[in-house]
Amino acid sequence: MNAETSVCQLLERQAMDYRGWLWVAPPRDAWLENGQGGVLSGDHAVLEAWRERGRPAFTALATDFGEPPGAVLFWPKSHALGEWWLLALCRYLPEGTPLQVVGENNGGIKRVLKVLAALGLGCRKRDSARRCTLFETRLGRVTIDPEVAWSRFEAEGLQLVSHPGVFGHGKLDEGTQLLLQQLPAVLPEPASTTSGSFGVLDMGCGDGILGAWLARRGARVTAVDVNAFAVEATRRTLDANAQVGEVLASDVYSALDGRRFDVIVSNPPFHQERSIDYGPAAQLIGEAPHYLEPGGQLILVANAFLPYPDLLEAAFGGFEILADDRRFRVYRAFKS
């Protein structure tokens, strides 16, 4: 089976025995998933794809993934996240482990040279093709703890915990802020639900701002995200604000087993690394009625140019716009 992505095509042509190697933060690519070795990833969908094939799969925040003969790091869109990956690999893999770092040229892969030099690691260019570059080095001991990547900031009277690679890292996203401004007027009153509080699904929870805000208001919060860093960030945000909620790693609705909610709220992503991908948002909207109680509502915010009205019309038969500041729109749709 041939490699599908440009970075994997570059790796495929190497005269290397990659058996048993650890693939770190890779894209979805059948050449990898049907090959050898294990995966270390913050993407729940990637982890599940490898597990379905019986392959070793470790979540990003794991600290014990054995002693592989080598590792390949796929340089991410977020350079700060790439630097965190390097710190984590230096901390948890044996000193001297061969490391290759691969990425697209337009994604800043050449910055790796400076990052490795700052960590005291030598590096050489191994190959380049298909507008990608492959570097190689060996891991060494560094004194920086990967934990320092976690940061805190305040927004909406809440203490938020964030990590590189989490949506809106280190600041309150303007779209999320517009969504929060609309919620007080449209959320159900606790007395209107049979349990005395309303159940909310925070889809794509990021740093946990929506989940913590809703929990503070008395909602029964379930928060999900495909990103392991976001899942941990939301857990830490809830703890930092003395709030309670269930937080799950989930590829859209995959971890929910048909559970239903009074409200689904979301600021859904439309990027996958550097590519536009409407797939998760389309699934979020299209399947939302199956996860809402009768009379339940989906409330989401999105960039004004995104083609969500057609998706909402198809899934719900209608919708309303709660706010539009020309950059972002807040939509609401009811399950009949």
184-243 per-position pLDDT tens digit: 999 987 544 444 579 999 999 999 999 999 999 999 999 999 999 999 999 999 999 999
pTM over 0.85: yes
DSSP secondary structure string, 242-302? T---EEEE-STTTTSTT--EEEEEE----EETTEE--HHHHHHHHHGGGGEEEEEEEEEEE
Dump pLDDT digits (tens) for 301-325: 999 998 899 999 999 999 999 999 9
**DSSP class per residue in 80-148:** HHHHHHHHHHHHHS-TT-EEEEEEEGGGTGGGHHHHHHHTT---EEEEEETTEEEEEEE----S--GGG
pLDDT-wise least confident of 158-167, 180-189, 248-257, 262-271: 262-271
Q: Check pLDDT > 70 for residue 273.
A: no
**What does the domain layout of the chain look like in residue ranges?**
6-147, 150-334
Q: Name the CATH code of domain 150-334 (choices 3.90.480.20, 3.40.50.150, 3.30.9.10, 3.40.50.300).
A: 3.40.50.150
Q: Specify the long-range contacts of residues 246-250, CB closer than 8 Å, at least 24 apart.
A: 246/221, 246/222, 247/205, 247/208, 247/211, 247/222, 247/223, 248/222, 248/223, 248/224, 249/44, 249/59, 249/224, 249/225, 250/44, 250/224, 250/225, 250/226
Taking each helix axis from N to C terminus, what angle separates 308-316 and 279-287, rounded to the nearest 10 degrees?
A: 20
CATH class held by domain 6-147: alpha beta
